[in-house]
């Protein structure tokens, strides 16, 4: 027989990509409830793999008071969307945008400050995607969409 040893956690470097926290968010995504009369309501998709998410947010007094992200996609894009939803809830828009920027830098392999790492928390687990460059887009999909929408909303 060819192939690998059996059992989970043995598929090469797969654990670097799919850390436990990612699999957890993939299986049990957070903040998936739709938001009532959202201020921001957009769809993002990646035609290459067919992943698509609907992102809804309520922004009051410059803070995200409610967020809902639903959709379908691979484990990385789903976990990333779920972690994003968890992160932005209750944050000031400036903080959200700063976090998106930290997240981008994390995926580009840049060194993050202690402070940035504190803000991202669990999300740092997604940094393993760096080893699988083709999957970086999956991790960024909802983040880029949300950031653009927020920027547009603030400019109104």
Partner 1 sequence: MSITGPGTKLSGREFDVATVRADFPILSRKINDHPLVYLDNAATTQKPRQVIDAISNYYEQTNSNVHRGVHTLSIEATDAYEVARAKVAKFINAPRPETVIWTRNTSESLNLVAATWADKNVGEGDNIVITAMEHHSNIVPWQQLAARKHAELRYLAAGKDGLLDMANIESTIDSRTKIVSATHISNVLGTVNPVAELANRAHEVGAVILIDAAQSVPHMAVDVQAIDADFLCFSAHKMLGPTGIGVLYGKYDLLDEMPPFMFGGDMILEVTYEDAKWNELPYKFEAGTPNIADAIATGVAVDYLTDLEMDNVWEHEQQLTAYALDRLTALNGITIFGPEDPALRGGVISFVHDKIHPHDLGTALDQQGIAIRTGHHCAMPLIRSYDVVAAARASFYVYNTKTEIDALVSGINDTERYFVR
Span near partner 1 by CB under 8 A; candidates 67-75, 92-100, 104-112, 116-124: 67-75
User: Three-class SS of residue 62?
Assistant: coil
b/e per residue 121-156 (b: at least 16 CB within 10 A): eebbbbbbbbeeeebbbbbbbbbebbbebbeeeeee
Binding-site member from 25, 40, 51, 91 for partner 1 (CB under 8 A)? 51
Q: Provide φ and ψ at 70, rounded to 5°.
A: -130, 160
User: Considering only residues 6-35, where is the footprint of partner 1 by CB under 8 A?
Assistant: 6-14, 17-18, 23, 26
Least CB distance from residue 136 to partner 1, whole Å? 12
Q: Dig out the tokens for 48 from the structure.
A: 């290459």
133 binds partner 1 (CB under 8 A): no
Binding-site member from 34, 50, 90, 94 for partner 1 (CB under 8 A)? 50
User: Three-class SS of residue 95?
Assistant: helix
109 binds partner 1 (CB under 8 A): no
Tell me which residues touch partner 1 (CB under 8 A): 1-4, 6-14, 17-18, 23, 26, 47-52, 72-76, 132, 135, 138
């Amino acid at each position: 027989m060819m192939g690998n040893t059996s059992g989970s956690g043995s598929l090469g470097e797969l654990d670097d990509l799919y850390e436990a926290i990612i699999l957890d968010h993939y299986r049990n995504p957070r903040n998936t409830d739709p938001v009532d009369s959202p201020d921001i309501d957009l769809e993002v998709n990646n035609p290459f793999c067919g992943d698509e998410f609907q992102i809804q947010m309520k922004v009051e007094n410059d803070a995200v008071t409610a967020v809902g992200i639903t959709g379908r996609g691979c484990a990385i894009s789903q976990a990333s969307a779920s972690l994003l939803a968890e992160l932005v809830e209750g944050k000031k828009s400036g903080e959200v945008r700063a976090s998106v920027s930290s997240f981008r830098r994390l995926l580009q392999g840049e060194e993050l400050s202690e402070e940035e790492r504190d803000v991202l928390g669990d999300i740092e687990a997604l940094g393993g995607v760096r080893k699988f460059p083709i999957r970086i887009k999956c991790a960024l999909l909802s983040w880029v969409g949300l950031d653009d929408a927020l920027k547009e909303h603030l400019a109104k």
